[in-house]
A and B are shown apart, each in its own frame.
Chain A
Amino acid sequence: METAVQTFDITKRFGDFTAVDHINLEIKQEVFGLLGPNGAGKTTLTRMLTTILVPTEGTATVAGADIIHEANKVRERIGVVTQASTLDNELSALENMNLYGKYYGMSRKQRQDRIPELLKVVELQDRARIPVGSYSGGMKRRLEIVRALVHEPEVLLLDEPTTGLDPQARAAVLEYIERIHVDHGIALLVTTHYLDEAEKLCNRLAIVDHGKVVALGTPTELKRQVSGGDIVEANFSNLPEAALKALERAEFVLQVKRRDSSLTILVKNGAEAVPKIVGLIDSNGGKLRTITLRELTLDDVFLNFTGRSLGD
């Protein structure tokens, strides 16, 4: 399989702050997710890969071209969907697409062949001549995604493509992204802080925190890396310090995380652990409201690797 993106100890420092710290990644013709909280370094990494920022150290190749020395080749071969909308609301979808095509030096013929077809992919062909300002958030996103495909890029980079959309629109956008990957066979690099999105969309994921890759693999692999346990979530109305200490000391507990009036407990075997947890809290004067046993999610994986939750 061809390599779409490869980074070599890529690093970016802003003064004393290291935003991206010696990251080495190889991305094939796949949907690759960069997952991490705000400020983890995802956007800085993406900005380097799209040639907007120059690395302080190291380099990368994108679509076979070096991001430092062949920046123009990179720009010709990538499509970028930025987090904030960069559509011109006063112009129609066709005008937006056509202008973008002109930035890439496409001929009128090339544009006429390609643009209507792309609009059809995201089902915007009937509204192609209406100013984009009247579109819903989801429609705008869809348009931006196909606009980034107008010049047939080899790699598509999407920075938080579903941020700010309602669940229904999110689902639709994700579906289109998947379809584009399958139909056009291009590599996709998606940054996100939505776990369900990453799980659904990505073949492989890198969890990024403090500028470093802390875990890498398919969603299933990552979950397996969290030493084979279950998650118990407990809501309490009262939890004395002694009860928390007792839980942390218990040999069947792998990790305890307290947030407001809830506990997230990683245990080896959920079915056995639940009654023990109830007992421990009870005997230490705590009072439980609910207790739930559930399967691992990427949030737990994230918690495991970074020591904090994505929601924090």
Chain B
Amino acid sequence: MKGALAVCERDVRKFFRQPFLVISTVVGPFLTLVLLGSAFGGAITHAPIAIVQESYGPFSSNFIDILQNQQSCEVGVINCQNSFQIIYVPDIDTAQQMLRKGLVKAIVHIPEGFDTSLSEKSNVIITVTLDNTDPLSAAAIGPGIVQASQQLSSLIQTSTSGGSIIGVDLENVYRTFLYIEFMAPGTFVQSIMFVSIIAGGVQVVNDKERGIIEGYLVTPLKKYEIIIGVLLAGVVKALISAIALFFLAILVVGVRPLSVFPTPDLMGITLTMFTLFLTSLGLIAMMTAYAVRFSTADIYRVSSFPINLTLYYTCGAIYPLDGFPTWMKDISVINPETYAVHALRLLMYNGAGFGAVAGDFAFLGVFTGLMVILSLLAFRRGL
């Protein structure tokens, strides 16, 4: 047994001589707890919903008031906020376009004759169209609207002692949509990030450590040629991995992107691939610029782990952004993965065109440009 103790002592001693390793064993799970816990614990708040109002009167305005004031509370924090953010839309067609572009999560259609029917004590039906490509939000929004209608019903019943029923017809805008489909785009981005860390950054640190980069510098290769070569290779590797996952998701998991099924839409597929390309270049450049600072691959790898977790958990890949507490929303705003996942979802499931993702492309484009410049500067100074 003395031998076992000696072996144990060696391992423990070595472990504590590598503070980075010690920290990383705590930081990773802690980040998961805080970020994932906060995301999943949070109620959906300020979910944008479109109201198409075709009837005006005390009942409809009362109903909208109830919706507007409905509160949902974040778990663990006594902080109740409005569930919905109401957007008035003139007609159903416009509302449906907005839903496709991901601008609203649901359409509430208050039909013509709503107020007259209620005053005549007849039954009415409100049609709610849910964007079920975000199944978690849809699951919260639907019942929220049903609850509002019940509140209105009981108000009418107590005041008029009459019995009219307000029915809510919940419709999903897309065919049955699985949570796993919601999660898939984030996985493609995750694979790009993995490649950026493992095949991109580590390669740079290893090459630096082994003197390969110095070997480049005694040849006529220019520094910018070296960094651009490194970035392009990273993009090739990341795209292979992301596209492989795209097909695995379709073939194995059963993800059914609108851009591929039932009829392949070339524009949709092209824009999806362009999103993956832009994301790859941006993330590879970011991790390359970061990696140049390190002299050993171990420390680089361990320290990039929390970056990866933070970006993944705050990008809305596994839980909708509407459910995030404010501080996490703030992180998600500057997180490039947020825009990548957003664009991919719209392109894959909503059949959205360029217009709907232009904003995402703009952010990703600026981010990628900055990161490429940063990696060029970091490379010039760090080597």
Let me know if A112 is at the binding interface, CB within 8 A. no
Asked if B217 CB lies within 8 Å of chain A CBs, one says yes
Kindly state the separation between the CA atoms of A45 and B210 in the bound complex, as whole angstroms.
20
Assembly CA distance A78 to B215 (angstroms) = 12
A225 CB-CB contact with B under 8 Å: no
- Distance in angstroms between the alpha carbons of A78 and B217 in the assembled complex: 12
Most A CB atoms within 10 A — which of B214, B216, B219, B221? B219
- Cβ contact within 8 Å between A50 and B218: yes
A51 touches B218 (CB 8 A): yes
Pair B216/A103 contact, Cβ less than 8 Å: yes
Residue of B nearest to A51 (CB): B218
For chain A, residues 61 to 94, give those with C-beta under 8 angstroms from any C-beta of chain B.
72, 75-76, 78, 80, 82-86, 88
B382 at the interface (CB under 8 A from A): no
Q: Is A171 an interface residue (CB 8 A)?
A: no
Known: A82-B211, A86-B211, A86-B212. A103 touches B220 (CB 8 A): yes
A105 vs B221: C-alpha distance when bound (angstroms):
9
Give Cα distance in the complex from A80 to B221, angstroms.
14
6 tightest A-B CB contacts, nearest first: A86-B215, A80-B218, A103-B219, A50-B218, A84-B211, A75-B220
**Could you give 15 example pairs across A and B, Cβ below 8 Å?**
A51-B218, A52-B217, A75-B218, A75-B219, A78-B218, A82-B214, A86-B214, A86-B215, A100-B219, A103-B216, A103-B219, A103-B221, A104-B219, A104-B220, A105-B220
* Mask: chain A, 24-60; 1 = CB below 8 Å from B; 0 = not: 0000000000000000000000000011100000000
Chain B 328-364 residues near chain A, CB threshold 8 A: none
Residues of A within 8 A of B221 (CB): 103
Q: How many residues of B contact A (CB 8 A)?
A: 11
A5 to chain B, nearest CB (A): 14
**A4 CB to closest chain B CB, in angstroms?**
16
Interface residue ranges, B against A (CB under 8 Å): 210-212, 214-221
Instruction: Give the residue name and chain of the B residue nearest to A85 (CB).
Output: B210
Q: Taking the nearest CB of chain A, how far is it from the CB of B217, in angstroms?
A: 5
Complex alpha-carbon distance, A82 and B220, angstroms: 16
Contacts of A105 in B (CB 8 A): 220
When distances are taken between beta carbons in the complex, the residues of chain B under 8 Å from A50 are 218
| A85 partner residues in chain B, CB cutoff 8 A | 210
Measured between alpha carbons, how far is A86 from B217 in the docked complex, in Å?
A: 12
- Cα–Cα distance between A88 and B206 once the two chains are bound (Å): 12
In the complex, what residues of B have CB within 8 A of residue A52's CB? 214, 217-218
Question: Which B residues lie within 8 Å of A76 (CB)?
Answer: 220
Chain B residues with CB below 8 A from A51, complex form: 217-218
CA distance A282 to B143 in the complex (A): 108
CA distance A80 to B217 in the complex (A): 10
**In the complex the two chains form, is B215's CB within 8 Å of A80's CB?**
yes
Q: How far is the CA of A52 from the CA of B215 in the complex (A)?
A: 9
- CB-CB under 8 A from B218, the residues of chain A are 50-52, 75, 78, 80, 82
Output the nearest chain B residue to A78 by Cβ-Cβ distance: B218
Give the docked Cα–Cα distance between A72 and B225 (Å).
Answer: 14
What CA separation (Å) do A76 and B214 show in the bound complex?
Answer: 15
Given contacts A52-B217, A88-B212, 19 further A-B contacts (CB under 8 A): A52-B214, A52-B218, A75-B218, A78-B218, A80-B218, A82-B214, A82-B215, A82-B218, A84-B211, A85-B210, A86-B210, A86-B211, A86-B212, A86-B214, A86-B215, A103-B219, A104-B219, A104-B220, A105-B220
